[in-house]
């Protein structure tokens, strides 16, 4: 089985600043760090590190080849990542001494995907595979419809949140991942609670409070507790959680077990600084002592 992830690839450029810049100010950074990020890339890495065959469908610009090399190093199948003339998506992240951040996000190549590329990738998929997407690319609804027709399980992580984008994918969705804020925003937009969205499985992550599963078939609600850790950086915790849940479901594990494993992975992730580059692998997750 495989996880087909239509997802963003970003270069995260992190600048430590003495304070946030004022309008018109030129400010020297104290340090600079560059890493692989983007919700899509994070989820592909998480799924691959959790042992799944993760096939990333995405695009980079001329300067983004190292991102593909890095994804390959982490075990992601990169055959369906194309190179476009548009710059690779990137995030310019300013961090002040208190840890507060400001982010400029340029979607770039992530928003230039075409139906042909997605169709070609999915033609290699098998019924029962998982198709995953987030909201940092274009073509989500089109891909979801294609996925449904091919008999794939369609999973969507509704971030960054956009009510119209979620609702466009909703008719084709089997699994939905939301954090608490997104769950509230979606309920405001649709007037429906998670178990009434017509989606088989809705998972709401609750940070240090764990995660909740809503079974759209039976109406059952079940909670998974979080591990007790000291969080230093929550970047990518949700993406890691999603990748781990799907990798476990793809191996045929039941939802409760998939979420329990994902909760351990998410907890380890918040004890580390960084995004895709620090996502734990399955052995680390299994061996971790909490």
- Residue ranges that bind ligand ATP, judged by CB under 6 A: 179, 205-208, 210-211, 226-227, 229, 231, 234-239, 241, 263, 266-267, 270
Q: Is-catalytic flag, 33?
A: no
Determine the Cα–Cα distance for residues 54 and 125; give it in Å rounded to an integer.
11
**Angle at the Cα of 220 (from 238 to 150), degrees rounded to 5?**
65
Closest CA to 59 of 108, 129, 123: 108
**How far is residue 221's CA from residue 144's CA, in Å, rounded to a whole number?**
26
- Identity of the residue, 180 or 190, whose beta carbon is nearer to ligand ATP in the bound complex: 180
CB atoms within 10 A of CB 145: 15
Minimum Å gap between C-beta 154 and ligand ATP is 19
Nearest distance in Å: CB 117, ligand ATP:
27
Query: Is the CB of 118 or the CB of 211 nearer to ligand ATP?
Result: 211
CA distance 271 to 267: 7
Smallest distance, ligand ATP to C-beta of residue 55, A: 22
* Cβ nearer to ligand ATP, comparing 124 with 231: 231
Q: Which is nearer to ligand ATP, 136 or 239 (CB)?
A: 239
Measured from each CB, the residue nearest to ligand ATP is 238
Catalytic residue among 12, 201, 239, 250: 239
The dihedrals phi and psi of 281, each to the nearest 5 degrees, come to: -95, 170
Three-state secondary structure of 74-88: CCCEEEEEEECCCCC
Residue 212: beta bridge partners?
Answer: 204, 223
Indicate the angle between helix axes 39-49 and 65-73, nearest 10 degrees: 20
Tell whether the torsion through CA atoms of 86, 33, 72 and 107 is positive or negative: negative
From the CB of 288, what's the least distance to ligand ATP, in Å? 12
Choice between 5 and 263, CB closer to ligand ATP: 263
Residues 47 and 32: their CA atoms lie apart, in Å, by: 28
Residue 146 CB, shortest distance to ligand ATP, in Å, is 26
Where in the sequence numbering do the catalytic residues fall?
Answer: 239
């Amino acid at each position: 089985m495989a996880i087909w992830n239509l997802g963003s690839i970003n270069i995260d450029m992190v600048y430590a600043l003495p304070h946030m810049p004022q309008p018109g100010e030129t400010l020297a950074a104290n340090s600079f760090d560059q890493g692989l990020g983007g919700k899509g890339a994070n989820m592909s890495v998480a799924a691959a590190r959790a042992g799944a065959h993760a096939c990333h469908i995405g695009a980079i610009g001329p300067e983004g080849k190292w991102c593909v090399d890095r994804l390959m190093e982490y075990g992601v199948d990169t055959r369906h990542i194309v190179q476009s003339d548009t710059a690779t998506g990137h995030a310019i992240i300013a961090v002040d001494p208190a840890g507060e951040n400001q982010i400029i996000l340029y979607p770039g190549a992530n928003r230039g995907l075409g139906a042909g590329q997605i169709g070609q990738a999915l033609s290699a998929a098998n019924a029962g595979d998982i198709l995953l997407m987030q909201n940092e690319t274009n073509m989500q609804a089109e891909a979801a419809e294609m996925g449904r027709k091919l008999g794939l399980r369609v999973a969507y992580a509704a971030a960054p949140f956009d009510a119209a984008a979620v609702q466009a994918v909703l008719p084709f969705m089997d699994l939905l991942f939301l954090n608490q804020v997104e769950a509230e925003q979606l309920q405001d937009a649709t007037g429906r609670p998670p178990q009434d969205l017509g989606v088989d499985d809705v998972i709401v992550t609750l940070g240090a409070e764990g995660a909740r599963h809503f079974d759209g078939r039976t109406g059952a609600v079940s909670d998974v507790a979080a591990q007790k850790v000291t969080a230093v950086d929550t970047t990518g915790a949700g993406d890691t959680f999603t990748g781990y849940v799907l990798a476990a479901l793809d191996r045929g594990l039941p939802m409760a077990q998939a979420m329990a494993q994902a909760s351990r992975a998410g907890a380890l992730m918040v004890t580390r600084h960084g995004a895709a580059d620090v996502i734990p692998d399955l052995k680390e997750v299994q061996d971790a002592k909490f």
